[in-house]
Amino acid sequence: MKTPIALAAATLAAACGPALAQSSVTLYGTIDLGILSINHVSASRLGYVPSGADGGRATQMKDGGIGASNWGLRGREDLGGGLAATFQLQGNINAKDGTTGGPNSAAGTSFFNQFSTVGLAGAWGEVKVGRQVSPMYYAMASTDARGARYFGSMLTGLVALNSASGVFAGNNSNPAFGTIYNDNAIVYNAPAWNGLSLSAEYAFGDTAGSAKANSQQALAAIYANGGLRLSALWYNGYGNNLGTATALFTAASGSAAAGAAAAAAAGFSPTANTNRLQSVGALYTLGAWTVSGAYMQARNPAHAVVPNGSDRLDLWSVGAGWRPTPLLNVTAGYYRVKDKRNVGNHASQLAVGAEYALSKRTLLYAEGAVVRNAGANMNFSPVYATPVPADTNVHAVMAGIRHTF
């Protein structure tokens, strides 16, 4: 919807004639809230770091059954000659209590934690600078029948890979493998060519004395032709795990100096290449039916690990969808994580869900998942932002409503 600011700008532009370029500002958002019942939640204070501490069953109100609630402002100004200036500000809302914002790269909280960008767009494509979603996320979601939902999808599979590394606490947006949100990022989206869309990202590390330290890079490709969709992604990062690894070694030794020394001895540093994620996927839709499959490889090229952690993990997925009417969508997905370092450690998740559209903007949904975790570093959770105890089988159900505006 157009805000009063946008309406006023349009009126002024009309009054001044061609002297002013046309511009618009749009307020938008999503509220997604439901009731979650899960038989095991983690009782650890370390978030997603694997722990056997079991808090037991929980039944609670939960934000984000399909995706997190958020709100934002999006603007565009026509500069003439096919060139436009753009901006976007977007942040999370926790609908159950009204709090706003979310984790940033520095383990703090940002109000606009999802997007804070300005850019230029034209026939040559679009460039955006600032904090934003990495192109890798869109590639991953495009070939998942479950659409990278917050409940039972490739997204929760990616979180499981990060958890199994042993150095992902969930309190910052620079995890061990891949990074969905990047600070200080430049993203270029090329115009689609014969169904092929390409994107590239470079995120500055903002570290004095080293251009490589804490920097991130990503490439993503999506090909769409009729009912066929193919995806590929490559992500690379430096220094992602240093903060959490240092905190874990410090907690174990009781000394900040000893913890920092132990992290360095294990191979963690701002320039250590600890983050490498690669994936390919395919999705095909024929009439009411959709099938998908993907393979994701998570690697830590520096081989910097903490005890019981891993630097080599694989994720396989298959999925299916059925849309008998435009109003009803039923999806299912199976996701399996295998630890290539700790032989015998693995986890799997089977998730199903149904969504019914009351209107173009309002959905009712219900979903359920069963997870099998085997190994001290396996704490695959069926629900994003809901850690579970390691080496424990989990099942969960959730029902809710999602409205966009």
Strands (DSSP E) contained in 81-161 are: 83-94, 99-100, 102-103, 109-110, 115-122, 125-133
Distant-in-sequence, close-in-space partners of 75: CB < 8 Å, separation ≥ 6: 23, 24, 25, 26, 86, 87, 88
What are the pLDDT digits (tens) for 318-367?
999 999 999 999 999 999 999 999 999 999 999 999 999 999 999 999 99
Domain of residue 203, CATH code: 2.40.160.10
Measured distance CA(32)–CA(149) in Å, rounded: 12
* Overall domain count for the chain: 1
Asked whether residue 214 carries a pLDDT value surpassing 90, the answer given is yes
What are the pLDDT digits (tens) for 128-179?
999 999 999 999 999 999 999 999 999 999 999 999 999 999 998 989 999 9
pLDDT value of position 22: 82
Domain ranges, residue 164 = 4-404
DSSP letters for 261-284: HHHHHTT--TT---EEEEEEEEEE
Measured distance CA(164)–CA(379) in Å, rounded: 7
Q: What are phi and psi of 340, to 5 degrees?
A: -85, -10
Measured distance CA(113)–CA(110) in Å, rounded: 5
What are the pLDDT digits (tens) for 8-27?
444 434 444 444 568 999 99
